[in-house]
């Protein structure tokens, strides 16, 4: 049921990007009664990706939205992760069960494409426009105009850039700030990355041939290469598939522009189908532990995955300082790109969406002053949480990295006392915001969540209606 109020002062929100963050924001605005439209540059949805972890930082929100049962049914309950060396000797088994004590919720591994399908259903089809690339953005008086690649212009009150690491919205906004001399030096630097990653999901497999699929608990298996600059692994899903990834560590930090220059100089390419196939060929013989007595390798998984669903991506890492200007605001990968080792990238994007939806819902008017205030409040709330997740992701990535630093961090984590491990886990569940304009879900567990000012603001406004 919509919680729409009678006020005529609701802003019109233009969301650029139909990824996980953009869809979450659209779904929440749909429930709040705030008008919005989503523009996506891709012509069609291509369901790429491996798997993601959904846990107590998101599950209460899905209860509020009425999709908890769908998410849990599509996911597979996870209690442990297991790491091996290249000889498939067990290195470490991490126990995540204490999180249920802390929060009342466990963790579920869900195939990213399956999760996307569920979220896509939360937004009416006519409110998502595909094949719409942003060329420019301008502001005048109380309106902001988005210029699209098909000579179309769209007007609204707020533009949200949810269009990924190489955001066109961020690029336009930063161009304007740089022209005024107001863009911090660090925001002018390229997005750095030190890893490539192959990701994919197999077709539905025969559990008689792959008995690991029969396990009721998600099997999360990873292999750390000490002789090879790679970390690879897999997760079982509720759909009878294996989601997999293979991370390659580069000898030095690079950037997209540096790789493009290298490609031009060498007349080669770092991207596209040829590059993806080359990485598959290079890593085919990497061993896997599937507990069936057979010699299994990553090549087996590549062969069982439709080629068009195998992708190679760079794992950029950066938190930008500037998240908004005027009536334009960024969220998700557009303003913070996290290494997936910490499992927080999608979560932080969706928490951004929750904070923005709460603040937009509670806006007294749609004047420039009110918009400036809520965007300021949005960054003030989200920035510390994102930096904490960013630092945690960097630490987790060091565990699997090569060299002395990786060895030291891995040793410390492996032999960490269980009480200290539990203490570390408590920090991962402190940020558990809810939607202030939907029925609140009682908090459970022993770890009290950090107060969300945007949730409180929306809740106060909701209770007045």
CATH number of the domain to which 378 belongs: 3.50.50.60
The answer to the question of residue 96 being in a domain is no
Total domains in the chain come to: 1
Structure tokens at 49: 């990706």
CA dist., res. 436 & res. 433, Å (int)? 9
Which of 195, 334, 186, 338 lies closest to 253 in space, CA to CA? 195
Q: Which residue has the higher pLDDT, 2 or 372?
A: 372
pLDDT value for 219? 96
The answer to the question of residue 206 being in a domain is no
CA dist., res. 250 & res. 70, Å (int)? 39
**What are the CA-CA distances from residue 80 to residues 108, 263, 287, 410 (Å)?**
11, 41, 20, 17
CA dist., res. 139 & res. 371, Å (int)? 13
pLDDT value for 269? 42
pLDDT over 70 for what percent of the chain?
A: 88
CB 382 within 8 A of CB 352: yes
How does DSSP classify residue 291?
S
- State the average pLDDT for the chain: 89
Task: Write down the pTM of the prediction.
Answer: 0.92
Q: Which pLDDT band holds residue 253 (cuts at 50, 70, 90)?
A: confident
pLDDT value for 193? 87
Angle at 341 between CA 324 and CA 207, to 5 degrees: 125
The answer to the question of residue 375 being in a domain is yes
* Domain range for 142: 13-47+114-189+319-464
pLDDT value for 226? 79
Q: Which pLDDT band holds residue 93 (cuts at 50, 70, 90)?
A: confident
């Amino acid at each position: 049921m919509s919680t729409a109020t009678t006020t005529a002062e609701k802003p019109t929100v233009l969301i650029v990007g139909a990824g996980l963050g953009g869809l979450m924001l659209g779904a929440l605005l749909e429930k709040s009664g705030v008008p919005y439209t989503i523009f996506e540059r891709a012509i069609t949805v291509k369901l790429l990706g491996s798997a993601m972890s959904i846990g107590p930082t998101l599950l209460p929100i899905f209860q509020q939205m009425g999709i908890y049962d769908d998410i849990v049914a599509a996911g597979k309950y996870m209690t442990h992760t297991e790491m091996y060396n290249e000889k498939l000797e067990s290195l470490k088994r991490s126990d995540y069960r204490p999180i249920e004590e802390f929060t009342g919720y466990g963790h579920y591994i869900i195939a990213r494409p399956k999760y996307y399908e569920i979220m896509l259903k939360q937004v009416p089809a006519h409110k998502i426009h595909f094949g719409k690339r942003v060329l420019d953005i301008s502001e005048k008086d109380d309106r902001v105009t988005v210029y699209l690649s098909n000579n179309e212009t769209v007007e609204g009150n707020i533009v949200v850039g949810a269009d990924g690491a190489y955001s066109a919205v961020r690029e336009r906004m930063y161009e304007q700030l740089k022209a005024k001399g107001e863009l911090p030096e660090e925001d002018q630097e390229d997005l750095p990355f030190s890893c490539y990653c192959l990701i994919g999901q197999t077709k539905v497999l025969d559990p008689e041939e792959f008995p690991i699929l029969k396990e009721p608990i998600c099997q999360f298996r990873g292999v750390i290469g000490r002789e090879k600059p790679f970390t690879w692994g897999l997760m079982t899903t509720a759909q009878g598939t294996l989601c997999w990834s293979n991370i390659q560590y580069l000898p030095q930090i690079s950037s997209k522009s540096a790789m493009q220059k290298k490609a031009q100089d060498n007349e080669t390419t770092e991207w596209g189908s040829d590059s993806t196939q080359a990485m598959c060929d290079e890593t085919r013989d990497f061993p896997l532990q599937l507990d069936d007595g057979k010699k299994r390798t990553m090549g087996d998984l590549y062969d069982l995955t439709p080629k068009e669903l195998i992708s190679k991506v760079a794992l950029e890492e950066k938190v930008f300082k500037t998240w908004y200007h005027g009536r334009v605001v960024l969220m998700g990968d557009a303003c913070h790109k996290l290494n997936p080792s910490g499992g927080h990238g999608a979560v932080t994007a969706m928490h951004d969406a929750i904070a923005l939806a709460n603040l937009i819902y509670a806006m007294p008017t749609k004047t420039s002053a009110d918009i400036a205030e809520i965007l300021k409040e949005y960054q003030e709330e989200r920035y510390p949480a994102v930096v904490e997740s960013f630092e945690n992701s960097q630490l987790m990535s060091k565990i699997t990295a090569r060299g002395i630093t990786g060895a030291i961090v891995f040793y410390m984590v492996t032999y960490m006392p269980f009480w200290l491990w539990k203490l570390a886990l408590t920090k991962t569940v402190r940020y558990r915001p809810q939607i202030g304009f939907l029925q609140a879900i009682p908090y459970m567990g022993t770890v009290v969540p950090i107060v969300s000012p945007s949730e409180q603001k929306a809740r106060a406004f909701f209770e007045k209606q």
